[in-house]
């Protein structure tokens, strides 16, 4: 793996965006908490300091030692990172007296610095801080201002060190990618060689070297991540990869048979296991969301372990863990991150399985996984599948789960998703699905009163699932889908559409 850029995370909500923008430039980068001991500085060619919810003036603020970085490696401080450098080396950082959140425009740009090559005065940037740099230290030179922020950007004389109080990684900073390219390519001298092709080549070589003739077992979910991971491992070790696709009874309509057929046509060594009855029996009477996740996770591990033990001499467990799963499991302060919901593939390996873990995608974001999949020749229909939660419809049925509720929601979901595809809307949506509410509502069908279930349709647009906006689907489309659901799904008499974004809501309802 090419170790090119180290991003030190101080807890900013935008840190992942920095990594995504750097990757867009075909430059590999990694994120670590600022106080992590898990990286070797000599592996990297440039360092970026992230923003932070802390004030540099707070006694609780992160205080990293930059002595081994500043002046020795190209260094860029973003927001808190810039303020920390100014504060640490003799400047003055204080509470801002003006609004410094949202869009702003550069009122002054030093044209001679390579950092702002191609960036003009008036360029829009995104601010998000309550402190400001009131006075720069000696040898720090001002290179950009906005109307409200005098010290919006600086450099240090005779050093490849820069600081900016705005966020180039955010979409609203119109020349943000240009600024990052100027720093990483022109100033740091990094090569833009990290591509899906290079990733496949280096990863397959690594897998062959690591796995040798060992056997690997991998649980397929039907989703993009596990499919791409399986294809990479199969490319490296062929039939020594044993894939298991478990039907937990909570998949979409006809999904088990359809996806199993797709896998077999891809040349993967796959066994399908229908454990629907076992899952539904274990879930009987369970209604609390986190309890349902844990039951589903536990039974999956039991079923998967039963099948894995039928394969002789297995040494490795393959997983489709991706980079957000990894970096969200460690906070910037070194403590445990807040858990919104349980994840299956991080820390889910039980002690009794005693297998080594191989995760070929654990440095990639979701969109990068899809690009790698295309390089591997995986069918676009499979790569374009919307994300689907590991617990499946179990967390889209609010309250307890019964076979009848599963049947009902499968039919509703099928009508909605197939309708999106027929209308040419599916590929423009990040994720779509339906939720079954634990309430009945009064309706009239024909001349009769009904008292039946309400369902919620949900469609969001996003780039990585970290934030999401609801999709304003055409009203005529929603009307048609609502009619098809109410007329075609026994037990449903009301359809509503979810118009909440993430945050404050989550994409799933449980």
Catalytic positions: 79, 167, 169
At 68, list the tokens: 């081994």
What is the rounded CA–CA span in Å between residue 250 and residue 303? 15
CA trace torsion 339, 341, 345, 349 (10° rounding): 80
Calculate the alpha carbon distances from 60 to 56, 130, 215, 331, 347 in Å.
9, 16, 48, 15, 30
Cis amide leading into 255 (omega within 30): no
Helix (H, G, I), strand (E, B) or coil at 381: helix
Q: Which residues pair with 46 in a beta bridge?
A: 5
What is the rounded CA–CA span in Å between residue 503 and residue 401? 27
Helix (H, G, I), strand (E, B) or coil at 498: coil
Helix (H, G, I), strand (E, B) or coil at 145: strand
Helices of type H across 125-195: 176-181
Which residue is listed with tokens 């297998």? 355
Backbone phi, psi, residue 49, to 5° = -100, 125
Q: Which pairing describes strands 241-247 and 270-274: parallel, antiparallel, or unpaired?
A: parallel
Calculate the alpha carbon distances from 219 to 69, 93, 333, 434, 488 in Å.
42, 52, 33, 25, 34
DSSP codes joined into one string, 252-310: PTTHHHHHHHHHHHTT--EEEEE-HHHHHHHHTT--SHHHHHHHHHHHHHHHHHHHHTT
Calculate the alpha carbon distances from 263 to 228, 258, 360, 387 in Å.
11, 9, 19, 18
Half-sphere exposure (Cβ direction) of 194: Cα atoms closer than 13 Å:
21
Backbone phi, psi, residue 452, to 5° = -130, -175
End-to-end CA distance of the chain: 37
At 120, list the tokens: 């003009």
Using N-to-C axis directions, what is the helix angle for 224-237 and 366-375, rounded to 10°? 40
Which residue is listed with tokens 């930059």? 66
């Amino acid at each position: 793996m090419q170790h090119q850029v180290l991003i030190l995370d101080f807890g900013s909500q935008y840190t992942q965006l920095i990594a995504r923008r750097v990757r867009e430039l075909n430059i590999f980068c990694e994120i670590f908490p600022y106080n992590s001991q898990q990286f070797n500085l000599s592996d990297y060619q440039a360092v970026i300091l992230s923003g932070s919810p802390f004030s540099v003036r707070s006694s609780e603020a992160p205080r990293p030692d930059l002595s081994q970085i500043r002046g020795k490696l190209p260094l860029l401080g973003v927001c808190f990172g810039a303020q920390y450098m100014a504060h640490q080396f003799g400047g003055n950082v204080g509470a801002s007296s003006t609004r410094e959140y949202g869009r702003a425009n550069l009122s002054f740009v030093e044209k001679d610095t390579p950092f702002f090559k191609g960036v003009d005065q008036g360029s829009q940037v995104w601010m998000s801080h309550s402190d400001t740099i009131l006075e720069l230290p000696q040898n720090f030179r001002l290179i950009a201002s906005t109307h409200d922020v005098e010290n919006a950007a600086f450099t240090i004389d005779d050093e490849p060190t820069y600081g900016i109080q705005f966020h180039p990684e955010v979409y609203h900073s119109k020349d943000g990618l240009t600024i990052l390219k100027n720093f990483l390519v022109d100033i740091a001298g990094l090569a833009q060689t990290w591509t899906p092709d290079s990733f496949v080549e280096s990863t397959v070589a690594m897998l062959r070297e690591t796995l040798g003739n060992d056997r690997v077992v991998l649980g397929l979910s039907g989703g993009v991540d596990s499919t791409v991971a399986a294809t990479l491992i199969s490319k490296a070790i062929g039939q020594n990869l044993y894939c298991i696709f478990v039907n937990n009874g909570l998949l979409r309509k006809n999904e088990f048979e359809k996806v199993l057929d797709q896998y077999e046509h891809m040349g993967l060594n796959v066994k399908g296991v229908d454990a629907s009855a076992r899952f539904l029996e274990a879930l009987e009477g369970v209604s609390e969301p986190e309890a349902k996740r844990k039951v589903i996770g536990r039974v999956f591990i039991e079923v998967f372990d039963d099948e894995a033990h039928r394969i002789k001499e297995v040494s490795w467990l393959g997983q489709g863990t991706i980079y957000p799963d990894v970096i969200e499991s460690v906070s910037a302060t070194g403590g445990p991150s807040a858990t919104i919901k349980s994840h299956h593939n991080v820390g889910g390996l039980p002690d009794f399985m005693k297998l080594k873990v191989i995760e070929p995608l654990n440095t990639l974001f979701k969109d990068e996984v899809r690009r790698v999949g295309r390089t591997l020749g995986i069918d676009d229909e499979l790569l374009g599948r919307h994300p689907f939660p590991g617990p499946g419809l179990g967390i889209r049925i609010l309250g307890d789960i019964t076979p009848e509720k599963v049947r009902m929601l499968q039919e509703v979901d099928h009508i909605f998703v197939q309708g999106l595809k027929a209308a040419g809307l599916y590929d423009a949506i990040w994720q779509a699905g339906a939720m079954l509410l634990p309430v009945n509502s009064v309706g009239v069908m024909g001349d009769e009163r009904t008292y039946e279930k309400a369902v919620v349709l949900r469609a969001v647009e996003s780039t990585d699932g970290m934030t999401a906006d609801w999709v304003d689907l055409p009203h005529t489309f929603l009307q048609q889908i609502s009619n098809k659901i109410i007329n075609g799904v026994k037990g449903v008499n009301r359809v509503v559409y979810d118009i909440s974004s993430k945050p404050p809501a989550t994409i799933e309802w449980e």
